[in-house]
Amino acid sequence: MIITKAEYLSSEVDWKACPGGNFPEYAFIGRSNVGKSSLINMLTGKHNLARTSGTPGKTRTINHYLVNDSWYLADLPGYGYAKVSASERKKWEEMIRLYLCGRPNLVQVFALVDARLEPQQIDLEFMNRLGAWKIPFLILFTKTDKVRPLKLKAHVNAFLQKMEASWEVLPDHLLTSAQDRSGKKEILDRIAAGNLEFHPGIKIPGSGNKSN
């Protein structure tokens, strides 16, 4: 898929205030600083479309981007950011939950995991929550340019192995880098396939999480 147009639409706290229209939507979620906003810029080929920062906690609202006048990307605030107050963090998490469970045109969630790190409990727990909410998702390992191939493989395998404890069927995963643009074609292929299957108002059925 070729991206010919990508524009910023809105920043909202309440999913009900997010842009309307029966466009298929793809959301990026993951720990603060994992690279959600950077990946949106990489995919759209627009360096400054989504605001990025070396300091975690940059994105604090649900930000919508309209691509090729026909589908949405949603950039979400990260979870697990330690430096905000507990009440603020709870508010973000509730905002994310309401959005993920309520947004009717959400086709696919991309759940980002930092490939530089050993499996993090907070990510594993979030994947389980997605499963419990029956949100279909694909795992994107990010910042792969920063990890040597052997270590990358070890981190990915370790993460998937941990997931096997609670998942019957593991979600698919892709290796990505906003830096060297790896994974771009694969992600856009998934989006193109999702666009073809999109029927307004119909949610794609849930996941293979054992706790369902």
Q: Under the rule (CB under 5 A), what is the footprint of Mg ion?
A: 36-37, 58-59
CB of 140 to ligand GTP, least distance (A): 10
Q: Which two tokens stand for residue 180?
A: 């060297």
Burial 39-74 (b: 16+ CB within 10 A, else e): bbbbbbebeebbebeeebbbbbbbbbbbbeeebbbb
* CA 133 – CA 105 distance, rounded (Å): 16
CB of 41 to Mg ion, least distance (A): 10
The partner in contact with residue 155, picked from ligand GTP, Mg ion, none with C-beta cut-offs of 5 to 8 angstroms by kind, is none
Q: Which two tokens stand for residue 134?
A: 């029956």
3, 68 in Cβ contact below 8 A? Answer: yes
Return the H-helix or E-strand segment holding 112: strand 106-114
The partner in contact with residue 63, picked from ligand GTP, Mg ion, none with C-beta cut-offs of 5 to 8 angstroms by kind, is none
* CA 30 – CA 41 distance, rounded (Å): 16
Query: 59 vs 142, which CB is nearer to Mg ion?
Result: 59
Give the binding site for ligand GTP (CB under 6 A): 30, 32-38, 52-54, 56-59, 77-78, 142-143, 145-146, 177-179
The partner in contact with residue 38, picked from Mg ion, ligand GTP, none with C-beta cut-offs of 5 to 8 angstroms by kind, is ligand GTP
Query: 5 vs 146, which CB is nearer to ligand GTP?
Result: 146
* CA 70 – CA 23 distance, rounded (Å): 6
Q: Which residue number places its CB atom closest to ligand GTP?
A: 78
CB of 65 to Mg ion, least distance (A): 12
The partner in contact with residue 179, picked from ligand GTP, Mg ion, none with C-beta cut-offs of 5 to 8 angstroms by kind, is ligand GTP
Query: 36 vs 207, which CB is nearer to Mg ion?
Result: 36
CB of 199 to ligand GTP, least distance (A): 30
What are the backbone angles phi and psi of residue 23, rounded to the nearest 5°?
-100, 140
> Computed from CA positions of residues 24, 29, 35, 36, in that sequence, does the dihedral angle turn out positive or negative?
positive
The partner in contact with residue 10, picked from Mg ion, ligand GTP, none with C-beta cut-offs of 5 to 8 angstroms by kind, is none
* CA 110 – CA 42 distance, rounded (Å): 14
Query: 76 vs 115, which CB is nearer to Mg ion?
Result: 76
Query: 37 vs 209, which CB is nearer to ligand GTP?
Result: 37
